[in-house]
Amino acid sequence: MVKRVLVTGGAGFVGSHVVDELLAIDVEVVVLDRIAPDVHPTRPDIPDGVELVERDVMDADAWRAALRGVDAVCHQAARVGLGVDFADVTDYVSDNDVGTAVGLSVLHDLGFAGRFVLASSMVVYGEGRYRCRDHGVVRPGVRSVASLENGDYEPPCPVCGSALTWEPVPEDAPVDPRNVYAATKLHQEHLCAAFEREHDVSVVSLRYHNVYGPRMPRDTPYAGVASIFRSALERGERPRVFEDGGQCRDFVHVADVARANVAALTIPEVSGPFNVCSGEPHTVLDMAEALCEAFGADAPIVVGGYRLGDVRHVVASPQRASDALGFDASISFDVGMREFATATLR
């Protein structure tokens, strides 16, 4: 059993819930977080008993200070979301790739031999898993701007051009990051895998699907779609749904994600990537409608359009996490969305 865990980004959305779960099982927690004003408009509360190192993950000395006495690391710190445009590329690579590399370098210097859990993402898959009636499992290419402009949102079979059906994505599916954020998350996985091969450690990469819940950041272009919709409702606006709203996703509650992290930190002899998901797929329009109903607001508006870098369908298989980590999501879509409609955002 781990006794003292470093949670990078432990003042943030997912990280703060991981901290709560660890404290609940009497694990000592150190938080490494720069508490940047652009991420935290108001200063977050740090629970009593948690040691806070308020510095940047790109600072090697910050890692050294935070790692004293630690026997496991839960690396949540990252710049998330699709971003505004490609001009964000340097910030993403710095925060995600360089920050991770600095931490792994310090762990190497210290001879760290504990568990390392990485917050990864389903975005590493790009488009999800698709099947053609005639050609079996296929990998559609990037949706063309012309198709998106024409309202042709479904990716066709790359062989014959016919319609496809989506299937749950297993962890051994090919990876195909489609935007800068996705590329950095995959590179983080690769850096951690290289570290694992050269050291006596086990690395677990948790590929989060669409996480939502209390403490989500509000009113930011880097937030997830759930936060964007919820922020619109707070402003008295109807959520605006891109494409036709038929994009399928797996929305997983942050409390379940925190439990998955604790399992990954504590289950002996486990490594590799795991989908962290509910196993309950819904469309983006489903989510917008559920939030509007729970909030007591008018129905969302389907506006068409698109965001470059978005994919059409990506829904996960929860089986590997269930078998190896004993993790199964416990909060249903309906219950979670009713709670989220009035939950506190940051």
* Cα gap 122→319, rounded to integer Å: 15
CA dihedral defined by 42, 64, 262, 220, rounded to 10 degrees?
30
Phi and psi at residue 152, in whole multiples of 5°? -90, 85
Report pLDDT digits (tens) over 27-67: 999 999 999 887 788 889 899 999 999 999 999 999 999 99
Per the annotation, the verdict on 306 as an active-site residue is: no
Find the catalytic residue in 181, 208, 222, 306: 181
Residue 219 has pLDDT above 90, yes or no: no
Q: What integer pLDDT is reported at residue 41 of this predicted model?
A: 81
| Beta carbons of 141 and 122 less than 8 angstroms apart | no
Residues in the chain: 346
Q: Is 162 exposed, middle or buried (0-12, 13-18, 19+ CB in 10 A)?
A: exposed
**Mean of the per-residue pLDDT values for the chain?**
94
The H-or-E segment that residue 211 falls in is: strand 210-212
Q: What integer pLDDT is reported at residue 307 of this predicted model?
A: 85
